[in-house]
Amino acid sequence: MSIKTFLLPDLGEGLTEAELVRWIVAAGDTVAVDQPIAEVETAKSLVEIPSPFEGVVSTLHGEAGQMMLVDEPFISVNTGGEDAPQTGEPSGERAQSYREEELAGTQAPAGESVDPSGEAEQDEEGSGNVLIGYGTGSAQRKTSRRRKPRGLGASGASATKASAEAVRVVNPLVRKLARENSLDISTVQGTGPEGLILRTDVEAAVAAASQAPTTTATTTQPSISSTAAKPEVSTGTVDADSRTGLPVASSQVLSGVRKTIANAMSTSRREIPEATVWVDVDVTKLLKLRTKIKEADGQAPSVMALISRFAVAGLQRFPELNSRIDVETDGGLRHTVFDGVNLGFAAQTDRGLVVPNVRDAHKLNAQELSAEFARLATVAREGKAGVSDLSGSTFTINNYGVFNVDGSAAIINYPEAAILGLGRIIEKPWVVNGKLKVRSICELTLSFDHRVCDGGTAAGFLRFVADAMTDPKRALATL
């Protein structure tokens, strides 16, 4: 027989890890080439991983809920062919070591991995990162080397035991975390295979150490503060926050979409000097026009699609807002203006806020835009949007009116230069030709990168879109 190990493929857009949501196959199952074998969730979307091999599943190198690293063992398949040159099939121990290291959030040092059994071995031929629609790359081979024993540890154990203990922490970030918190790593009880110390073990030890002063005060000083803390310590079931003293309802490290959103928003605020302009718009005629289109054709574009059509036309007149600023290696700034629009739109899903984008939106009419919005929103909410669907936008529209709010100074979708926000449509008293009437009003906001243009350009774009919304027949006739 021949065992081939498939490495987690490159999922695109610089993503280096993915959470294993579920296995579609189990050990012993027969699989065919391109048959879906697992679902993984990246920071971008939910992705089905296909099998690059045909044969019988030998080993699943991970469990649901684990973070898996790109280019690390994912699944091993018995292809039924002749033995490939190797020193042995990847062992369960080694696979477990990989998994624990992934939970710790990093890889082993380049060219070196740790084998708790102390036996050197070699990975089987990989698949070359296969995804349906992406094609098959060239196979790669990785070789692991046994780490040489080091000197005796502080505990005075035997040389053999000390050398084993020396490799109980394979992740340099785990050691760094312990060092930064003045924690003696040798005192930490590892929960990994054969006592492997994980990042979660260090975090738990640090948390326990931070609670120690509170516990001591409770037992030795019958002050008012210690009396208040005593019920919590005695029960041992409620954790208290060390800064506020309040019980902690939940605490978790951000991952997946939430981590990506947090990083993107922080980068946007840090890198982009943004400004915001806004205007209230009378959309009474726009709503009436949409009603007439629906009566005549049986369907009509969504209000967002109509406004998006105006926005795309506005970007052709004010192209600075359809651009990007990049920092050069020498510290200089490069301003890139795009010939065409990939229109992103914010979509709320169970996994968090994502931004699908309509490619070449400048080539589509309002009906086509409406259909694409509906399609992309559906696949995004189902977690089936591909990487290309969720990246590459050049301008974004955010319809926060669906949350029943009037306005918002939206954060720019980095590295874009602007984002257009739509508030709810609500009836308000409005002066029309000197007379007070009840009209349908929508607040329109534009947050823009002040490096790409001045306020006059931003106001010109916003005014163009607002005027088109106020008199849509005239606007559509000239677009």
Residue type, 180: E
Q: Which of 371, 458, 383, 381 is nearest to 419 (CA)?
A: 458
Phi and psi angles of residue 334, each rounded to the nearest 5 degrees, phi first? -110, 125
The verdict on whether omega for the bond into residue 85 sits within 30 degrees of 0, i.e. cis, is: no
For tokens 């980068």, what's the residue?
A: 267
Q: Which of 255, 253, 166 is nearest to 203 (CA)?
A: 253
**Edge-to-edge, what's the strand order for the sheet holding 343-345?**
274-282, 435-449, 418-432, 395-399, 343-345, 357-358
Q: Are 125 and 84 in contact (CB under 8 A)?
A: yes
Residue numbers annotated as active site? 450
Measured CA to CA in angstroms, residue 451 lies from 332, 343, 362, 417, 418 at distances of: 13, 21, 24, 9, 11
d(CA 385, CA 173): 33
